[in-house]
Amino acid sequence: MPRKQNERYVKEPPRFSSFKPAGIPRTELPGTSITLDEFEAVKLADYLELDQQDAADQMAISRSTFSRLVARARQKIAGALINGHELIIEGGRIHFINNLLVCRSCGHQFTVTMETDMNKCPACGAGKLMDYAGSFGHGRCCRGHHKGNRGNHATTGSDRTPG
């Protein structure tokens, strides 16, 4: 029986969900999918250049799982570049920690925690927000999983405020 795969944390939704070679209609292209956890692994390791252990901690997975994840993601991305595939970011057993929202009226872009209900743009007050977590099929499912600020709650005697 396969072991149940644990849920991984992705800090916030990607801003783009598909890439393709220029000048070729999508209908003529084979596609390669990378999952949201694979995307996050490449972002943390190769874009933000985090130490693998720190990156693994942030996603709540082991270092060896992180290594396999990032290796698989690199292999798929390289294959899509070399063979001219459409690269699609979708799926994966993940939950988002933060959501990315963009106002369709003024273009204001901002992040809030997945626990926050937001239906008006804080910049212009319009009610037309594009919900990136929602576009990847996430919303209420992400709430209440993440412990949040793990390790940041510890206070030492000197910086604790009285009362």
Q: Which residues bind Zn ion (CB under 5 A)?
A: 95, 103, 105-106, 108, 121, 123-124, 126, 138, 141-142
Q: Which is nearer to Zn ion, 79 or 144 (CB)?
A: 144
Q: How many Cβ atoms sit within 10 Å of the Cβ of residue 154?
A: 5
Q: What is the DSSP letter of 97?
A: S
From CA 80, how far away is CA 140, in angstroms rounded? Answer: 33
From CA 8, how far away is CA 69, in angstroms rounded? Answer: 11
Q: Which is nearer to Zn ion, 29 or 60 (CB)?
A: 60
CB of 95 to Zn ion, least distance (A): 4
CA 104, chain centre distance (Å): 21
Q: Which is nearer to Zn ion, 68 or 128 (CB)?
A: 128
CB of 23 to Zn ion, least distance (A): 35
Q: Which is nearer to Zn ion, 5 or 64 (CB)?
A: 5
CB of 97 to Zn ion, least distance (A): 10
CB of 100 to Zn ion, least distance (A): 14
From CA 131, how far away is CA 111, in angstroms rounded? Answer: 10
From CA 115, how far away is CA 117, in angstroms rounded? Answer: 7
Angle (deg, nearest 10), helices 52-59 and 63-83 = 100
